[in-house]
């Protein structure tokens, strides 16, 4: 075993050997087809059984224990922590601890310092003694890696709320930021929407610097309790990092000089901005972190916990809780019903479910009701653009996203709805909005236009994950595919997107995946889009992608990629244990490229068939979704169902929208 540079042990899995024609575990072509039909029927049945009566699907969205730890810390800060919630959260957090005493941010990943600190503090709140073996092991590991002083800023903010860290030893975040005009560098709209929603409330918290009495000390998490803040060498004066360090020092000095009336006015403006963006369900942006910080900020400004804004905000956080059969309680960072529903609709339609099947019609009815028809923050950069898109969550009218909108349109196009004019109007609005959100370089980001400023990532405050939203290959590919299906493949705007994608291809033939792991996701998104837009399967870019996918196929016939490819692409690109979702992405690319009868496709389909469980589902403990590359990873529990079904359906019936499908239609699954 060798040590990787991120501190974990273990080497990447060996490169897959070329498939031998003498493999005995691959069924003959006819048998493989029948096995795929049976697997598709079982998977169809399973997915239909998971549909809500209202028409939507939603799988659990699993991240890491910082969500659970911070939920307990919030409740401690507000004075509302109760025994039942604490016990259930602690049960989940303990269950996620690794043998070395740490907590990771993804299944099979290395221990992560800030995550381990927050989990440790949460268990202390739950009553776990610091000298208990599991706690002592965690504390020793934390100290060995620099202690609290080496943790990310967000972790130290949580500790500062209880006096476990000094506010003056944190980067300054002035609330006056809210007043910077949108043309000025470092205004709030230079940040990605998720960062923007977090920074605005945290600017209030930073200005207020609250401290609640700590229920216990945390000396055991410092390398030297007598000097918890070791000196750090300054960045080179001529570098950007050095410039932003000096800016932060200046803001610390300025803090003492800002007139109280001015600061109070800035905080009130920030509070109005927060309240205006609260969703109908009480949450903010449909994601947990901004909701947590918004509740703290408003509470510090005098909002009572019984105030409607606070009451509904706290109630929304309870809806992020997933209670398990063993009594453990997991907190979702977000919920994904629109995304899950459009992907499930695509999977079922491509698997052969009739286009007018009542379940698909019900799903379309629900998706039509979720269309966002009001302006959100995106309109700051596109004030003349009419609204018309879809968000990721149940309630998120401020932040529809381009990826969901593209996939929803692709899902709507697969269903024969009894009100076609209504569907056409929604599709028209979605296409118009998506085209209007194209960035200058011809590509698309997830939420905003040209959200590419280099400055936000330089701030000392922003040391965790992505804080901007530049265009990505996977989102751009989904848009290009959608525009091609809408008959716009030759539109100049679509062609610019195609040109950008071709320029972004890696030398080995793959594409980087921003919102899924990683090069397999990017490649699995781009190849079907390019083919749908008219590139022939013989195009050099398509052939390079096929060659790369074949080269990284695992010996077992599946595909997998570890999240470490975001940090160490040379060792981990396209490499990892086989998973159902990543195998499906690779198959979707190969099938689009005309490789249906290839050995690689045959082996990949065989792997999906062989690993399917009796109930028609697949198991997938590995994290194949991405919030922030490397820093925040996601296990979408429905990915393991929708993508394999989509791949199997396309294997049996051919590519959707590419003329008449070959082969016999799939019979309707039983119980549907």
* Residues carrying an active site annotation: 403
Quote the CA–CA distance of 372 and 430 in Å, as a whole number.
Answer: 9
Of the candidates 79, 172, 170, 64, which has an alpha carbon nearest to the alpha carbon of residue 117? 64
Q: Which two tokens mark 231?
A: 């000196």
Strand partners, 61: 636
CA angle 662, 51, 282 (to 5 degrees): 130
What is the end-to-end Cα distance of the chain in Å, rounded? Answer: 49
Quote the CA–CA distance of 191 and 68 in Å, as a whole number.
Answer: 26
For residue 565, give the DSSP letter. Answer: G
267 Cβ partners below 8 Å, 6+ apart? 175, 203, 204, 207, 208, 301
Q: Which two tokens mark 257?
A: 């000089």
Quote the CA–CA distance of 300 and 209 in Å, as a whole number.
Answer: 9
CA angle 567, 571, 573 (to 5 degrees): 75
Q: Alpha carbon of 640 to those of 153, 183, 350, 407: distances in Å?
A: 34, 43, 16, 18
**Ramachandran quadrant class, 11 (left: phi over 0; alpha: psi -120 to 50; beta: rest):** beta
With residue 639 as reference, give the H or E element that holds it: helix 639-653
Q: What is the DSSP string of 612-643?
A: --TTS-----S--EEEETTTEEEEETTHHHHH
Note whether 555 and 508 are within 8 A (CB): no
Helix (H, G, I), strand (E, B) or coil at 7: coil
Query: What is the widest separation between alpha-carbon atoms in the chain?
Result: 80
Quote the CA–CA distance of 124 and 624 in Å, as a whole number.
Answer: 31
Q: Alpha carbon of 215 to those of 121, 161, 173: distances in Å?
A: 11, 12, 27
Quickly count: other Cβ atoms within 10 Å of residue 535's Cβ: 20
Note whether 213 and 163 are within 8 A (CB): yes
Quote the CA–CA distance of 90 and 76 in Å, as a whole number.
Answer: 14
Note whether 605 and 648 are within 8 A (CB): yes
Note whether 148 and 159 are within 8 A (CB): yes
Q: Which two tokens mark 256?
A: 């003492």
């Amino acid at each position: 075993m060798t040590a990787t540079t991120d501190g974990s042990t273990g080497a990447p899995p060996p490169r897959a050997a070329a498939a031998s024609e003498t493999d005995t575990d691959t069924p003959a072509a006819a048998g493989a087809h029948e096995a795929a039909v049976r697997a598709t029927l079982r998977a169809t049945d399973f997915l239909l059984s998971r549909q809500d009566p209202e028409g939507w699907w939603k799988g659990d969205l699993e991240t890491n224990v910082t969500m659970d730890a911070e939920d307990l810390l919030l409740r401690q800060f507000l004075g509302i922590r109760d025994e039942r919630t604490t016990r259930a959260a602690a049960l989940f957090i303990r269950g996620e601890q690794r043998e070395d005493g740490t907590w990771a941010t993804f299944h099979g990943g290395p221990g992560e310092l800030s995550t381990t600190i927050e989990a440790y503090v949460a268990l202390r709140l739950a009553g776990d003694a610091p000298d208990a073996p599991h706690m002592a092991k965690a504390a020793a590991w934390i100290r060995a890696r620099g202690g609290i002083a080496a943790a990310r800023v967000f972790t130290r903010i949580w500790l500062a709320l209880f006096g476990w860290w000094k506010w003056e030893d944190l980067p300054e975040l002035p609330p006056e930021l809210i007043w910077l005009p949108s043309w000025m560098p470092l205004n709030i709209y230079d940040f990605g929407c998720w960062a923007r929603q977090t920074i605005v409330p945290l600017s209030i918290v930073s200005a207020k610097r609250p401290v609640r009495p700590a229920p216990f000390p945390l000396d055991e998490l410092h390398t030297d309790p007598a000097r918890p803040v070791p000196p750090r060498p300054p960045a080179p004066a001529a570098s950007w990092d050095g410039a932003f360090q000096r800016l932060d020092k200046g803001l610390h000095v300025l803090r003492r000089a800002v007139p109280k009336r001015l600061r109070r006015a800035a905080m009130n403006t920030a509070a109005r901005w927060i309240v205006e963006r609260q969703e109908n369900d009480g949450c903010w942006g449909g994601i947990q972190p901004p909701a947590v910080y918004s509740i703290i900020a408003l509470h510090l400004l005098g909002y009572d916990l019984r105030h409607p804004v606070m009451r509904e905000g706290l109630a929304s956080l309870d809806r992020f809780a997933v209670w398990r059969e063993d009594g453990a309680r997991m907190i979702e960072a977000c919920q994904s019903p629109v995304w899950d529903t459009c992907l499930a609709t695509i999977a079922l339609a491509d698997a052969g479910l009739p286009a007018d099947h009542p379940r698909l019609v019900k799903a379309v009815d629900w998706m039509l009701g979720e269309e966002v028809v009001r302006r959100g923050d995106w309109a700051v950069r596109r004030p003349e653009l009419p609204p018309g898109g879809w968000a990721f969550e149940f309630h998120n009218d401020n932040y529809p996203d381009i990826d969901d909108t593209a996939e929803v349109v692709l899902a709507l196009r697969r269903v024969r709805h009894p009100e076609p004019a209504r569907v056409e109007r929604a599709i028209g609005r979605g296409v118009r909005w998506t085209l209007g959100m194209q960035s200058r370089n011809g590509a698309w980001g997830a939420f905003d236009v040209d959200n590419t400023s280099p400055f936000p990532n330089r701030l000392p405050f922003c040391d965790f994950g992505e804080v901007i939203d530049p265009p990505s290959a996977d989102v751009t590919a989904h848009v290009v595919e959608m525009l091609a299906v809408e008959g716009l493949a030759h539109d100049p705007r679509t062609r610019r997107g195609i040109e950008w994608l071709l320029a972004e291809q890696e030398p080995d033939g793959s594409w980087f995946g921003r919102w899924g792991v990683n090069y397999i996701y990017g490649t699995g998104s781009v190849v079907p889009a390019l083919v749908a837009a008219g590139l022939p399967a013989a195009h050099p870019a398509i052939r390079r992608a096929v060659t790369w996918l074949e080269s990284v196929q695992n010996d077992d016939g599946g595909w997998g990629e570890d999240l470490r490819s975001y940090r160490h692409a040379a060792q981990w690109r396209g490499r990892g244990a086989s998973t159902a979702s990543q195998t499906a992405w690779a198959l979707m690319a190969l099938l689009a490229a005309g490789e249906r009868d290839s050995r690689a496709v045959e082996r990949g389909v065989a792997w999906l068939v062989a690993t399917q469980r009796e109930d028609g589902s697949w198991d997938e403990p590995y994290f194949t979704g991405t919030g922030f590359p490397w820093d925040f990873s996601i296990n979408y529990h429905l990915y393991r169902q929708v993508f394999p079904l989509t791949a199997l359906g396309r294997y049996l019936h051919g590519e959707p929208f590419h003329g008449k499908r070959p082969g016999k239609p799939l019979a309707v699954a039983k119980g549907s």
